[in-house]
Amino acid sequence: MRFLVRRLLALGGVLLASSMIVFGGLYLAPGSPEQFLVQGRTVSPEVLAAIRSQYSLDDPLPVRYWNWLSGVFTGNMGRSLLTQEDVGTLIASRIPTTLALAAVAAILIIVAGIGLGILAGTRGGMAERIVIFGSNLGIAVPTFFAALVLMSVFSVGLGWFPVFGAGDDGGLVDRVWHLTLPALALSLPLLLSSRGSRGRRSSRRANRSTC
């Protein structure tokens, strides 16, 4: 229990420190926020002043950070500089797809990773070599490139999967159909777990032989 509390406190500390760094980083970044907003446009000084006051940009950094932090705890995360929209709404509209993608990828990693690991560990020989080769390939190939190849083969070439979209109109099947390729690309490097399960299996076998 104490371990859990300690961990949670540490997590809170890390979150606080990293939010400070990110917030301060925005402050230090070249080009001011109001210049970022009007990018590519020369606007009158009055307009720039209006933006500064709308976003309280003239307050000192600690005050701005405190305003933001107290806002977060009361459920107000502020407004996006880019879209002038409530940040909570912005995040809420994107979170279902993110979670669904992570879930499909996690299922793939668990099922395929462990399954392949068991296959390699129990069968050995050719199966083991193929799985090791596959998992090495998974680690070596960057995700974006794997995604490109998967899309080129399975979406454009074979037409089995859609080329874009998150499938948020249809039901569960449509959702999974849209997320399969992205999840596969995402999970490829992590299919490393197949190596892990195979590794444990073979070391156990090694133990047995020494007995």
Partner 1 sequence: MNKKLISAGAAGLLLLLTGCNGGAAAKAPDALNPKDLLVTTPAAMTNLDKIVWNNNFGEPPSIDPIKSADYPASAVVSNLCESLFQIQPDFSIKPNLAKSVKNVDNSTYIYELQSGVTFWDGKPMTADDVVFSLKRQLDPKEISYWASDVTANIASVDKTGPNDVTVKLKTPDATFNNQLATPIGAVVEQAQREKAGVDYGNPGAGVMCTGPYSVGEWKQGASITLNRYDGYWNTAKKAKTKQIEIQFITDPSSIANALATGAIDGSYDVPLSAISQLSKSTNGQLFYGKSLQNMAIISTGTGTLGDPAVRKALTLATDREAIAKTVFEGTSTAAQSLVPNGGWNYSGTIFEDARKNLPSTTPNLDEAKKVLKDAKVDLSKPIKIVYPIDRTFYADIISEFANAGAKLGLTIEPSGVPGAQFGAFFSDPKARAGADAFVTTNYMNVADPLIHLGAIAGPNGIQNYSGFSDPQITDLLAKAKATSDDDARAKLTVQAEALIMDKEPWLPVVDSSTRLFMSKRVTGVPASFVYLYYPWAADLGGTGK
**Two structure tokens written together for 34:** 């109001």
Helix %, strand %, coil % for the chain, to 5? Answer: 75, 0, 20
Indicate which single residue of 41, 206, 209, 211 sits in contact with partner 1 (rule: CB under 8 A).
Answer: 41
168 binds partner 1 (CB under 8 A): yes
Burial 17-52 (b: 16+ CB within 10 A, else e): eeeeeeeeeeeeeeeeebeebeeeeeeeeeebeebe
Among the listed ranges 1-9, 116-124, 150-158, 170-178, the one in contact with partner 1 (CB under 8 A) is: 150-158
Taking CB under 8 A as the rule, does residue 79 contact partner 1? yes
Angle subtended by helix axes 143-150 and 172-187, to nearest 10: 130
Among 11, 16, 29, 99, binds partner 1 (CB under 8 A): 29
- Binders of partner 1: how many residues, by CB under 8 A? 46
Q: Is 31 in the site for partner 1 (CB under 8 A)?
A: yes
Among residues 8, 24, 35, 129, which is the contact residue for partner 1, using CB under 8 A?
35
30 counts as binding partner 1 under rule CB under 8 A: yes
Among 16, 17, 137, 156, binds partner 1 (CB under 8 A): 156
How far, in Å, CA of 149 to CA of 156, rounded? 10
| 84 makes contact with partner 1 (CB under 8 A) | yes
Give the contact letters, 88-127, x = binds to partner 1 (CB under 8 A), - = no: -xx--xx--x------------------------------
177 contributes a contact to partner 1 by CB under 8 A: no
What the block records as the tokens of 29 is 């970044």
Sequence-distant (≥ 6) Cβ neighbours of residue 168 within 8 angstroms? 96, 97, 175
Cβ proximity to partner 1: between 86 and 112 the closer is 86
DSSP string of 85-147, one letter each residue: -BHHHHHHHHHHHHHHHHHHHHHHIIIIIHHHHHHHHHH-HHHHHHHHHHHHHHHHS-HHHHH
Residues that bind partner 1 (CB under 8 A): 29-32, 35-44, 46-47, 49-51, 54, 79, 82-86, 89-90, 93-94, 97, 144-145, 147-148, 151-152, 155-156, 159, 162-166, 168
